[in-house]
Structure 1
Amino acid sequence: MNVQLATFTLALVLLAAPLTSEAQQTERVYRIGWLSVGSPSGAVDARRAFSEALLQLGYKEGRTLLVEDRFAEGRSDRLRDFAAELVRLKVDVLVSHGTPAGLAAKQATTSIPIVAVGSGDPVGSGLVSSLGRPGGNVTGVSAAYRDIVAKCVELLKDVVPGMSRIGFLGNADNVVNKAHFTHAQAAAGTLGLAMEYFSATKPDEVGRALAAMSRARVQGVIVTADVVITSRQGEIVEFVARVRLPAVYFVDDYVDMGGLMSYGPNRRELFRHAAVYVDKILKGAKPADLPVEQPMKVALAVNLKTARALGLTIPPSVLLRADHVVE
């Protein structure tokens, strides 16, 4: 009886082995292109959030999914070549971070699906024809900075009521950044404030832009989420602390590093939602049919320790609206 059972079990194992082997051989491995004007170090949180979301959706990076990273290290002129390279690799989906990368990806292909993440104005920049019906091969997750930049101006004015001149730190090569400045400048004008644009188109230009801002004697600064700018977060926070310059940032990471205030969407959430769109596309959805997502929540963060160091009192009206407070 035992011999018969053993023989039967062995037969089942032998029959199952080819099926298992065949399943392993035919398991699809997807290839995702990741295109950014920034650096790997500046994308750690975004990449981690993206990878974790994909894992929760059933993809195992390195096994069922490969990510081809292309970082331009602050050189926008390299984006076109990197985008073309990813197209030649025949990636299944191309994920772009920021408007310049999204535009380079769109220029490189009309057939590979593109998930554009973090653009402040996908329609105004020409990435999509509309948010609800993107059309073409591009969809994504917008950061909607155009809608919040006026609020950043108001926050600075609330915290420093006597200010008259604000700096705007951005990247002149980023068309959306320039549009944001126009909106911010209009908002500043209604409050009786002057605003000046300070640009860094490469990471090593950030220091010069900060120095120019200091010489211009601005009394506050708005720091954008352009990838070139965020690649030098530590340098920016250290500089504005040294010259005692109040700042409001589009990205919340700054506040935990010692920045005064931030107002904007959570970048990690943007990339988690991007992973959901990648999953839908890999399962057959068309980018043209996927509306560009807007941030579900825009959060205000305040660092009270930094406020005290700057000799500022955060008004109760601002603190009551804060979603995150660093004591």
Structure 2
Amino acid sequence: MTKEHPTGAKLPRIGMLLAGDRSYPSFAAFCEGLGALGYAEGQTFAMEARFSAGQLDRLPVLAEELVATEVDVIAVIGAVTLQAVRRATSDIPIVFTVVLDPVSAGLVSDVQQPGGNVTGVTNFDPAQAMTQIKILKQTLPNLARLAILGDAGVPDTLPNLYTAEAEAAGLHPQVVLLRGVEDIEGAFEAFRGEGAHALLSLEVPRTSTHGRKITELAVSARLPTMFGRDLARYEPLLAYGTSLAAAARQMAGMVDRILKGAKPGDIPIECVTQPELIANLTVARRIGITIPPKVLALADEVIG
């Protein structure tokens, strides 16, 4: 049911900033979340969305653009995006998602009482890295050398976490951080040079934006690849984690509360962890491996 808006009244303006592009599932999920709450773009609210398409250096400019449009609230995805918007405004309410640990990162003071103009939803699951590596080891019993692909433009929290978990699992990790799409082929050359047995691609802006190229190169190299749950659309061998779309839909609920008068600093930060495993048998056949039945039995979805 669409919310009614008084004729002639100014429509509330919702801003959104993403480090990815318009095809990013979290953008659609956020819009769906607003729709489920009765919002209709152009009828009950106006949307101002900006996308950096993996070019993180554009985020500060896009954040300034959003602030200049005088939006009533800004929704952001990712810590680096949140930081850009926070530098642009200390007044406009900001709602975030896909921020691992906002307290440790110094983005908020307390999860129950964030304070200031920021609140949001974290999807951080401290067990995700360990579980992804465990699934890879179950799939590839001889796994010893694990390539880890990340993003040089964001904090090194994830690469450090995955490196530690790989070492704890008895693996030799090889971390490459992308500075742009031009680095991807060089990364695969480095993986081949080190004799990587599998690739774990982290859920960060550049790997998310260029996921299709990464999986195409992985198939060509016959390199088994694990992505996060929402990047299953790029057809890696395996995808595991919490759907970022679920967090984005929950973020829409926080935006609704703020538009109704709630102060962001008084809204406790919420956590969403709903992990799913997707296995792609078509890719398995193309790269010449067999996904063991015990791994397929864990899968929420099997493709091919």
TM-score, structure 2 length as denominator? Answer: 0.91
> Is contact 2:230–2:245 with CA below 8 Å preserved after alignment?
no
- Number of residue pairs aligned between Structure 1 and Structure 2: 300
Separation in 1 of the partners of 2:32 and 2:281?
Answer: 32
User: Which of 184, 189, 197 in structure 2 is aligned with 1:219?
Assistant: 197
Q: Does residue 87 in structure 1 map to residue 67 in structure 2? A: yes
Q: Does residue 230 in structure 1 map to residue 208 in structure 2? A: yes
Separation in 2 of the partners of 1:113 and 1:179?
Answer: 26
Task: Tell me the secondary structure at the aligned position of residue 252 of structure 1.
Answer: helix
Q: Which residues of 2 match residues 1-327 of structure 1 at below 5 A?
A: 23-26=6-9, 28-40=10-22, 42-43=23-24, 45-144=25-124, 146-175=126-155, 178-254=156-232, 256-327=233-304
Separation in 2 of the partners of 1:237 and 1:201?
Answer: 18
Identity %: 34
Alignment match, 1:5 = none
Compare CA radii of gyration and give the structure with the larger one: 1
> Is contact 2:229–2:278 with CA below 8 Å preserved after alignment?
no
Higher relative contact order (CA 8 A, sep 6+): 2
Task: Tell me the secondary structure at the aligned position of residue 7 of structure 2.
Answer: helix
> Is contact 2:229–2:277 with CA below 8 Å preserved after alignment?
no
The aligned amino acid for 2:99 is S
TM-superposed CA distance for 1:61, in Å, is 0.5
> Is contact 1:225–1:251 with CA below 8 Å preserved after alignment?
no
> Is contact 1:32–1:92 with CA below 8 Å preserved after alignment?
yes
Deviations 1:116-163 (A, max 9, x none): 122233233222223333222111121215441121111111111212
Deviations 1:143-187 (A, max 9, x none): 215441121111111111212111111102210xx2122121122
Unaligned 5+ runs, structure 2: none
* More off after superposition, 120-129 vs 281-290: 120-129
Separation in 2 of the partners of 1:294 and 1:207?
Answer: 36
- Structure 1 pair 161–23 and aligned structure 2 pair: CA distance change class (3 A): closer
Unaligned 5+ runs, structure 1: 1-21
Aligned structure 1 segments of 4 or more residues deviating by more than 6 angstroms: none
TM-superposed CA distance for 1:96, in Å, is 0.9
Deviations 1:54-100 (A, max 9, x none): 12212111222111122223222221222122222221111112111
The aligned amino acid for 1:189 is E
The aligned amino acid for 1:139 is T
RMSD, aligned α-carbons:
2.0
> Is contact 1:299–1:322 with CA below 8 Å preserved after alignment?
yes
- Structure 1 pair 242–78 and aligned structure 2 pair: CA distance change class (3 A): same
Task: Tell me the secondary structure at the aligned position of residue 35 of structure 2.
Answer: helix
TM-superposed CA distance for 1:114, in Å, is 0.7
> Is contact 1:146–1:180 with CA below 8 Å preserved after alignment?
no
User: Which structure is higher in helix share?
Assistant: 1
Task: Tell me the secondary structure at the aligned position of residue 270 of structure 2.
Answer: coil
- Structure 1 pair 114–36 and aligned structure 2 pair: CA distance change class (3 A): same
